[in-house]
Chains A and B, each alone.
Chain A
Amino acid sequence: MSVNIRIEHALKKYGNNTVIPDLSLNIRPGEFFTLLGPSGCGKTTLLRMIAGFNTIEGGEFYFGDKMINDLNPAKRNIGMVFQNYAIFPHLTVRKNVEYGLKNRKVPKEEIKKKTDEIMKKIHIEEYADRMPERLSGGQQQRVALARALVIEPDVLLMDEPLSNLDAKLRVEMRNVIKQIQREVGITNVYVTHDQEEAMSVSDRIAVMHDGVIQHVGTPKDIYQRPANLFVASFIGRTNLVNGKLTVKNGKCTVSLPDGYRFEMDNILDEEKHDQDVILAIRPEELVINDKEGIHAKVDDSVFLGLNTHYYVLSDDVHCIHTEDKDDDRFELIQESLIDEIIPNGTDVRLRIKKEKVNVFTADGCKNIVRGVKDDRI
């Protein structure tokens, strides 16, 4: 049943405003694929182009070998879960779920059988005769999922399906969605702006920005080896600092403004030349010690049980400000120790875990560390 989705040179314009300039992507059969990005990045637009609700100004969209550019949305055999669920408020749960089957002229007994089956699987059979208004958000979400899946679509599209739920239900429902998707084995395209949600459900994630795909990869790949500075700072927390790369006798050394330097052995060969770089250091990639590293002073700390977060200020090395992090201080996370929390004002040194740290060109466009995997096609 499941099918791959191939997008070649997609172009989307609203009037003279180009939203998606040129986008190519290959989504594998049966895969849980997430479009992740800040609002306005074009992820929902792309999803709606796949669904057929947005016009396609250029490029080709394929389900398997079938081009679907001009195919009526009703004929694409797509299941769609909308952000506000779009449950028909005038129909009972059962009638909502049956709706798509009825339009496909499926025989009556089969409609009943399939509807019962899917309602059981998604655990809504006890609400079958209720009106949607008497359901909670999570239950409505399940109805929307059942309604989308019962028609046995080739592709399941979900547009921010969890954004209307509270935090606890969000976690519960994303597990439900993931589990059902696995069971059914359907190709799923999922849109969200919540990176934690994306990481927890996806087989692969495409990070989008300004209508351009920045990076496609597994959650682990994009977190640990982001393709560029945008991905590094959008996914997870990151301290960005300016540094210099110097190459001597084939050996690469990264130095920071306060003189702290360390050798790196995983720089790409073609980038082995002296240049300004930007380091992206995640909070867990900094180690507090008193031997080596950036000279700094503990400014503040937050104890969160499992971990303790420290905010540490250096006189010489200031973090670059970004949209998410508007602060000179380094943020670092340490597993909470039984000893006392380091008091504010303590002088410390910050060692960088050099095997984990990412180094970008000064314009932020490229990660020059080996191991970046970007498999969009």
Chain B
Amino acid sequence: MKQKKQRRGFEIWTVFTWVIIALFLVFFIYPLANLLRQAFFDANGFTMKNFIKFFSKAYYTNTIKNSFKVSTLTTLCALLIGIPYSYFYSFYNIKGRKLLIIISVMCCMSAPFVGAYSWTLLLGRSGVITQALAKIGINIPTIYGMGGIILVQVSKFYPLVLIYMNGAFRNIDSSLMEASENLGCTGLKRFFTIVLQLSMPTVLAAALLVFMRAFADFGTPMLIGEGFKTFPVEIYSQFVGEMADDWGFACAISCLAIVITGVIFWIQKFATEKYKFSLNALHPIEKKEPKGIKGLAMHLYCYIVSAIAFIPQLYVIYSSFRNCNEVFFLPGFSLKSYKSAIKRNLIGAIKNTMTLGFAALAIIIILAIIIAYLTVRRKNFANEAIDTVSMLPYIMPGSVIGIALLTSFNKKPIAISGTLLIMIVACVVRRLPYTIRSATATLIQIPMSIEEASISLGASKLKTFFKATVPMMSSGIVSGAILSFVAIITEVSSAVILYNTKTLTLTIGTYISISYSLGVPCVFATITTLITVIVLLIYIRITGTEDVRL
């Protein structure tokens, strides 16, 4: 009897295991292997010439140095700005907190280089602020180059730190704070010896996330880096630039990128090992009323930081309604930019974007639920392998995934390059790790006994899965999935390699129209922002502002 029962469950879930392994093999392992093959082999067999070429020229190695410099500084600044912000936000009743958190989430979910583009409109050579200040004789430092990249990235990534840290601070039990106070330690000292130490794992996780995003960010350095070349920009220009004739070299650089992010990921894991404790607040901290000068300073800090991050977003929307020619904005407002955007296939881009978003999201949710179930409830070697492999894309820059897919699927048997399908595949691969993680975390919380109860009451295993397990998991997945939707529709780094005129999306539309117009990119960006806002409002409706998680 027991054996028979086991065999039945075995069959159903084994089928899922093999289906998923097959999907991974075709759409992830094969492209990755292909990437390696092109990096290490040419027509004559094994070769290191691509790597020798890279390391023998300072021009190339400098891109690594530059990327490191920018990512490290961005990470540090984002932590320095985000942690105090989160502390004020979590421990004090900051007025307008809902608005602040919505603005913050919006800034970090917006398309990566919309911020960069807007900053050039504000602080660029012909930017409004630059020119206004120049009139009264003040010259501000240029936004082009490293400083500008860091400014743009920090104002986009500090909300990640804020949201992560809010979660960590919420898990600190108030009795720990009281114990510390009771033992004579308060104020700033308590912040450093207790609060910060307790949230160290989260600080490290947030640092990793910001570093990875900054390192893989392609749009910002492409737009305002100018002479300051970073790694992803180099990968892109080796692959699609005018000089791009050597895919082997682009693949080799991609491999280096994976190695670097892999090392960073490993270092972060190693650092986190030291903090082997878990927090679970029975009594969350009660927020205090901020009073006096200190309270005023806290409010000012939060509002100014949010404003700096948010103004570029608003300015793009504002600019989309202004009159302009190719080079200058002109006085007066109109819908002219919208008209020319429609001529440039705005409607098609909206359609593509929505199709891409919904299709990728549906696939991600289905895969994530199945994979989470397999790895949590059916532990075996194959399923653990699936778990490990599914996390790999987390450390892979988007442009690398784009290159791997494009070089693998541009010929038969699977010739899908230039279709929306390949972009869907790229988005699924990119976002799957996030959703799997939240699905796994949710499933671990659900006691096995609930499923056992369902089975003992006569439901089959598959019925139990759909009627009991999936509904219980859904709350944990839905919120994460909504944010994934935003991430998908604002995807740039892989899309910029995979798109063609037929599969233009809103963000890619923004990116390419920058080269020929001032107003059109603003229109594309405004529509993207509009969709993002709608989705975020739905998200906040569902989760509540206090529980924003990424």
Chain A: residues with CB nearer than 8 A to chain B? 51, 53, 72-75, 78-80, 82-84, 86, 88-90, 99-100, 103-104, 131-133, 147, 151
Contact = CB atoms under 8 A, between A and B. Distances in A.
Interface stretch (B109-117, B176-184, B293-301, B423-431): B176-184
A74 B175 contact: no
Nearest to B189: A103
Interface string B419-459: 00000000000000000000000000000000000000000
Interface in B179-196: 179-186, 189, 194
Contacts of A131: 276-277
A80 B176 CA distance: 11
A78 B179 CA distance: 10
11 contacts: A74-B182, A74-B184, A80-B178, A86-B173, A88-B176, A88-B180, A89-B198, A89-B277, A90-B198, A90-B200, A90-B277
Interface string B247-279: 000000000000000000000000000011111
Contact of B179 (A82, A104, A133): A82
B176 A83 contact: no
Contacts of A151: 183-184
Contacts of B178: 51, 53, 73, 80, 82, 86
A74 B277 contact: no
B282 interface: yes
B237 interface: no
A326 to B, nearest CB: 30
B197 interface: yes
The interface centre, meaning the residue of A78, A80, A82, A133 with most chain B CB atoms within 10 A of its CB, is A82
Contact of B175 (A73, A84, A90, A99): A84
Nearest to A78: B182
A340 B276 CA distance: 60
A73 B197 contact: no
A86 B176 contact: yes
B175 A83 contact: yes
B184 A86 contact: no
Contacts of B275: 90
Contact of B182 (A80, A90, A104, A132): A80
A86 B175 contact: yes
Contacts of A72: 186
Contacts of A86: 173, 175-176, 178-179
Interface string B183-220: 11110010000100110100000000000000000000
B184 A100 contact: yes
A88 B172 CA distance: 10
A99 B198 contact: no
Contacts of A88: 176, 179-180, 194, 197-198
B419 to A, nearest CB: 51
Contacts of B198: 88-90
A133 B275 CA distance: 11
Given A88-B194, A90-B197, A103 B176 contact: no
Contact of A82 (B175, B277, B278): B175
Contacts of B185: 74, 99, 103
Given A89-B277, A89-B278, A133-B277, A74 B176 contact: no
Given A86-B178, A88-B198, 12 more contacts: A51-B182, A73-B181, A74-B183, A80-B178, A90-B197, A90-B275, A100-B183, A103-B183, A103-B184, A103-B189, A104-B184, A133-B276
Interface string B467-494: 0000000000000000000000000000
A133 B198 CA distance: 13
A131 B200 CA distance: 16
Nearest to A144: B179
Contacts, number: 68
A147 B186 CA distance: 17
A-B CB proximity, top 6 nearest:
A89-B277, A100-B183, A103-B184, A86-B175, A86-B179, A82-B175
Given A84-B282, A89-B278, A89-B279, A74 B181 contact: yes
B98 to A, nearest CB: 22
B485 to A, nearest CB: 36
A131 B194 CA distance: 15
B176 to A, nearest CB: 5
A53 B282 CA distance: 16
A51 B277 CA distance: 28
Nearest to B200: A90
Nearest to A100: B183
A72 B200 CA distance: 28
A73 B179 contact: no
Contacts of A147: 179, 183
Contacts of B182: 51, 73-74, 78-80, 100
Contacts of B180: 88, 99
Nearest to B275: A90
A90 B278 CA distance: 9
Contacts of A51: 178, 182
B458 to A, nearest CB: 35
A67 to B, nearest CB: 19
B179 to A, nearest CB: 4
A90 B180 CA distance: 13
A82 B276 CA distance: 22
The interface centre, meaning the residue of B181, B198, B278 with most chain A CB atoms within 10 A of its CB, is B181
A75 B183 CA distance: 9
A80 B183 CA distance: 9
A79 B183 CA distance: 8
A103 B180 CA distance: 9
A73 B185 CA distance: 10
Interface in B484-530: none
Contacts of A104: 184
Contacts of B175: 82-84, 86
B184 to A, nearest CB: 4
Contacts of B278: 89, 133
Contacts of A78: 182
A104 B200 CA distance: 25
A118 to B, nearest CB: 14
The interface centre, meaning the residue of A51, A78, A103, A147 with most chain B CB atoms within 10 A of its CB, is A103
A90 B275 CA distance: 7
A82 B180 CA distance: 12
Contact of A84 (B173, B197, B277): B173
A106 to B, nearest CB: 11
Contacts of B186: 72, 74
Contacts of B194: 88
A90 B186 CA distance: 18
Contacts of A82: 175, 178-179
B195 to A, nearest CB: 11
Contact of B277 (A53, A103, A132): A132
A80 B175 CA distance: 10
B518 to A, nearest CB: 52
A78 B182 CA distance: 7
A53 B182 CA distance: 9
A102 to B, nearest CB: 8
A273 B259 CA distance: 95
A88 B180 CA distance: 9
Nearest to A91: B197
A100 B183 CA distance: 4
B491 to A, nearest CB: 38
A78 B184 CA distance: 10
Contacts of A99: 180, 183, 185
B285 to A, nearest CB: 12
B414 to A, nearest CB: 49
Contacts of A83: 175
Nearest to B186: A74
A88 B200 CA distance: 13
Contacts of B277: 89-90, 131-133
Interface in B139-197: 173, 175-176, 178-186, 189, 194, 197
A99 to B, nearest CB: 5
A75 B186 CA distance: 11
Nearest to B274: A90
